Amino acid sequence: MTPRHRRRLVFVSLILLGVGAAAALTLNAFRGNMVFFYGPSQLATVEKAHERNLRLGGLVEQGSVKREDDGLTVHFMVTDNVKSVPVVYKGILPDLFREGQGVVAQGRLNNEGVFMADEVLAKHDENYMPPEVAEALKQAGGQTPQFSGTLMQGGLNK
């Protein structure tokens, strides 16, 4: 390696280090502020929550989904298993929307503490499996599936 090469190598390493450090500091500073949604418990801590458009995320509480007679307006509770927030939404729900499923609703909180949603998005989890496996897991009193153990023996016939 000639001195010239070494100088360039140091130059490139310095760019990488500098940009990396700058990005790390910026992201660290943003970390608290850059949330895509607030959970029901967090929502209580948000300042001036009534005046702002925000996103509420959590699980749709079991047994809380009620549809009005017009077929479009839906009432449900979004929960983080500690607190629940009632949500009202008028419109078409995504395919993955169901009780127990994660959702993100965008809208605002009215004065009665009801979240008036303009948009409801379903959140998908990281689990992928055929219906039969999901059924079997449910009967076994299912926990979060982890297939790493079966990856090697499982193969395609499972």
Partner 1 sequence: MWLWIHKFGSPKYFYNVSGKILPWVAGATALLIVIGLYLGLFASPADYQQRETVRIMYIHVPSAWNSMFIYLLMAASAAIGLIWNIKLADIVAAVSAPIGASFTFITLVTGSLWGKPMWGTWWEWDARLTSELILLFLYLGYIALQSAFEDRRLAARASAVLAIVGAVNVPIIYYSVQWWNTLHQPQSLGVGMSTIHPSMLWPLLIMALGFKLLYVVILLMRTRAEVLERERNNAWVQELAQALVGKSVIGSANEYR
Stretch 131-150 residues interacting with partner 1 (CB under 8 A): 131-135, 144-148, 150
| Residue of 8, 50, 52, 67 interacting with partner 1 (CB under 8 A) | 8
- 154 SS3 class: helix
In this structure, are residues 63 and 99 in contact, taking their beta carbons and an 8 Å threshold?
yes
Q: CA-to-CA distance for 76 and 67, rounded, in angstroms? A: 9
| Residue of 45, 109, 122, 139 interacting with partner 1 (CB under 8 A) | 122
| Residue of 130, 139, 140, 143 interacting with partner 1 (CB under 8 A) | 130
Q: Which helix (H) or strand (E) holds 73?
A: strand 73-79
Smallest distance, partner 1 to C-beta of residue 95, A: 5
For 86, counting Cβ atoms within 10 Å of its Cβ (0-12 exposed, 13-18 middle, 19+ buried), the class is: middle
Nearer to partner 1, 20 or 113 (CB): 20
Q: Kindly provide the b/e burial profile for residues 26-41, where b requires at least 16 CB atoms within 10 angstroms of the residue's own CB.
A: eeeeeeeeeeebbbbe
Segment interacting with partner 1 (CB under 8 A) among 59-67, 73-81, 110-118, 125-133: 125-133
Does residue 63 interact with partner 1 by CB under 8 A?
no
Stretch 74-103 residues interacting with partner 1 (CB under 8 A): 92-97
- 136 SS3 class: helix
Nearer to partner 1, 92 or 140 (CB): 92
Q: CA-to-CA distance for 59 and 100, rounded, in angstroms? A: 6
Residues within the interface to partner 1 (CB under 8 A): 5, 8-9, 12, 15-16, 19-20, 23, 27, 31, 34-37, 57, 92-97, 104, 119-135, 144-148, 150-151, 154-156, 158
